[in-house]
């Protein structure tokens, strides 16, 4: 069971139909698979960030809707499950994208046929995600080759846009994995990504497992590293890309883009088609998730005895705000790297992609 999916964030067993995810809240200290066996478990996994990263959120929701249809395939049951899953997190457009893909497949079917068709669609979305991320890796590798002068190529990334955020490969990290396989000498600056520390907890773990040399730095170090000439390019992911090329990604991305522009450093955003919101004309219209202030005021980890601990950083009663994403205007993005190729982050380039895709 699950034999082919060692390095996969969500695995599905064709015989039993079981779906398991890696509980990412426990990484890097514990690698635990969690069986998702109810609509509530799917919703919890997404909102509690056991799974996170735009593509993985979408695929998980797709399997969640398929599961819900096994229990209640009526129109009302389907609508209720759709709304519950959609409400789990507001920013990554992949969530709605994947749920709508399932609805498009099953709505016209008789209820008894819906669950099977939905599961089939979820399985296909999962496979497509793997293939698309691999293509993003190839297209990103072509850009990295242009920067490669034979010395170590220093790439900076933010948050986690690796295979943990997708199914396999990742978006921003796919070019890194492809470059490693192609024999390029690499080093990755991993920005810690306060307050949830996806860089420290997830990206550094992923890269370490793959044998990619990497160094974790405090978010605030990144501008200085760029000024010192220690960064050849920045590659990040996107949770939602507006039709004008503005990108919405983990909080702190915008400041990196500004520092990269000031230092003439290419700033690439890896964007699968599933993160493009054609209905959203500009970044300012993207809903920014406001998470619990407690995430800013405390920090979690394990102590010397291996026990999970949450440590309060602030005095009791301290107020905090926790916007989880920010918008980087298209003008600061050097290129979007997609599964369909790399191009300018501009309204014109995206409009021509849309024509090409016929969507």
User: Alpha-carbon distance 358 to 356, whole Å?
Assistant: 6
The answer to the question of residue 249 lying near ligand MRU (CB under 6 A) is: yes
Q: Is 244 annotated as a binding residue?
A: no
Lookup: tokens for 296 = 């800013």
As a residue count, the chain comes to: 359
Q: Please check if 354 is assigned to a binding site.
A: no
**Tokens found for residue 277:** 């919101």
- State the number of binding residues for ligand MRU (CB under 6 A): 18
From candidates 132, 166, 338, 342, binder to ligand MRU by CB under 6 A: 166
Q: In the beta sheet, which residues pair with residue 270? A: 337
**Assigned token pair, 71:** 């229990």
Q: Which of 239, 246, 277, 326 is catalytic?
A: 239
Q: Tell me the C-alpha distance between 158 and 189, whole Å.
A: 9
Which residue in 85, 324, 336, 353 binds ligand MRU (CB under 6 A)? Answer: 324
> Does the annotation list 356 as a binding residue?
no
Q: Does 198 sit near ligand MRU (CB under 6 A)? A: yes
Out of 68, 78, 125, 159, name the contact with ligand MRU by CB under 6 A: 159
Nearer to ligand MRU, 156 or 161 (CB): 161
Which range of residues in 33-41, 51-59, 69-77, 297-305 is near ligand MRU by CB under 6 A?
51-59
According to the binding rule CB under 6 A, does residue 237 interact with ligand MRU? yes
Radius of gyration of the CA atoms of the chain, in A: 20
Name the E strands within 166-221. Answer: 186-191, 214-217
Closest separation in Å from C-beta 15 to ligand MRU: 29
Stretch near ligand MRU under the rule CB under 6 A, chosen from 1-9, 52-60, 147-155, 340-348: 52-60
β-strands 33-35, 19-22 pairing = antiparallel
Listed residue (327, 304, 112, 334) closest to 233, CA to CA: 334
Least Cβ distance, residue 110 to ligand MRU (angstroms): 36
Q: Is 185 one of the annotated binding-site residues?
A: no
User: Is 250 labelled a binding residue?
Assistant: yes
Give the Cα separation of 241 and 104 in Å (integer). Answer: 22
Q: Based on the residue annotation, tell me whether 326 is a catalytic residue of this protein.
A: no
- Judged by CB under 6 A, does residue 50 bind ligand MRU? no
**Helix or strand run (H / E) with residue 264:** none
Which residues neighbour 85 within 8 Å (Cβ) at sequence distance 6 or greater?
39, 42, 43, 46, 61, 64, 65, 68, 95, 99
Backbone angles phi, psi at 189, to 5 degrees: -85, 120
CA-nearest of 69, 68, 59 to 115 is: 69
Strands 335-338 and 267-270: parallel
By CB under 6 A, which span of 99-107, 115-123, 162-170, 208-216 interacts with ligand MRU? Answer: 162-170
Residue 89 is labelled as binding a ligand:
yes
Q: Measured from the CB of residue 166, what is the shortest distance to ligand MRU in angstroms?
A: 5
Q: Is 126 in the site for ligand MRU (CB under 6 A)?
A: no
Residue with tokens 């394990």: 302
Among 50, 171, 241, 342, binds ligand MRU (CB under 6 A): 171
Known binding residues for substrate: 52-54, 89, 198, 249-250
Catalytic residue numbers? 239
Known binding residues: 52-54, 89, 198, 249-250
Which residues are near ligand MRU by CB under 6 A? Answer: 52-55, 92, 159, 161, 165-166, 170-171, 198, 237-239, 249-250, 324
């Amino acid at each position: 069971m699950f034999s082919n999916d060692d390095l996969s964030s969500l695995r599905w067993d064709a015989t039993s139909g079981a779906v398991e995810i890696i509980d990412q809240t426990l990484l890097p200290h514990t690698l635990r698979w969690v069986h998702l066996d109810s609509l509530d478990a799917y919703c919890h996994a997404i909102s509690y960030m056991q799974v996170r990263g735009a593509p993985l959120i979408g695929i998980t929701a797709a399997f969640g809707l398929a599961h819900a249809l096994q229990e209640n395939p009526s129109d009302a049951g389907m609508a209720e499950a759709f709304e519950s899953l959609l409400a789990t997190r507001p920013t990554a457009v992949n969530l709605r994208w994947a749920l709508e893909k399932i609805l498009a497949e099953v709505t016209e079917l008789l209820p008894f046929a819906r669950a099977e068709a939905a599961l089939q669609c979820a399985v296909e979305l999962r496979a497509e995600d793997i293939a698309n991320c691999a293509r993003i890796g190839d297209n990103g590798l072509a850009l990295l080759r242009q920067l490669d002068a034979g010395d170590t190529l220093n790439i900076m990334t933010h948050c986690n846009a690796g295979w943990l955020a997708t199914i396999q490969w990742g978006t921003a990290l796919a070019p890194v994995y492809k470059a490693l396989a192609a024999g390029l000498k690499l080093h990755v600056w991993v920005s810690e990504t306060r307050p949830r520390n996806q860089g420290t907890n997830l990206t550094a773990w992923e890269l370490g497992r793959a044998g990619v040399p990497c160094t974790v730095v405090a978010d605030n170090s990144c501008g200085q590293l760029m000024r010192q000439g220690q960064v050849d390019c920045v590659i990040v992911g996107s949770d939602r890309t507006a039709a004008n090329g503005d990108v919405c990604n983990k909080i702190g991305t915008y400041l990196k883009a500004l520092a990269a522009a000031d230092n003439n450093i290419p700033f690439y955003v890896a964007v699968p088609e599933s993160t493009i919101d054609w209905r959203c004309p500009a970044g300012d219209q993207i809903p920014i998730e406001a998470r619990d202030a407690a995430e800013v005021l405390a920090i979690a980890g394990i102590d010397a005895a291996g026990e999970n601990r949450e440590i309060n950083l602030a005095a009791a009663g301290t107020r905090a705000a926790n916007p989880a994403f920010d918008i980087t205007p298209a003008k600061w993005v050097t290129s979007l790297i997609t599964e369909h190729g790399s191009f300018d982050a501009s309204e014109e380039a995206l409009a021509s992609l849309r024509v090409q895709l016929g969507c």
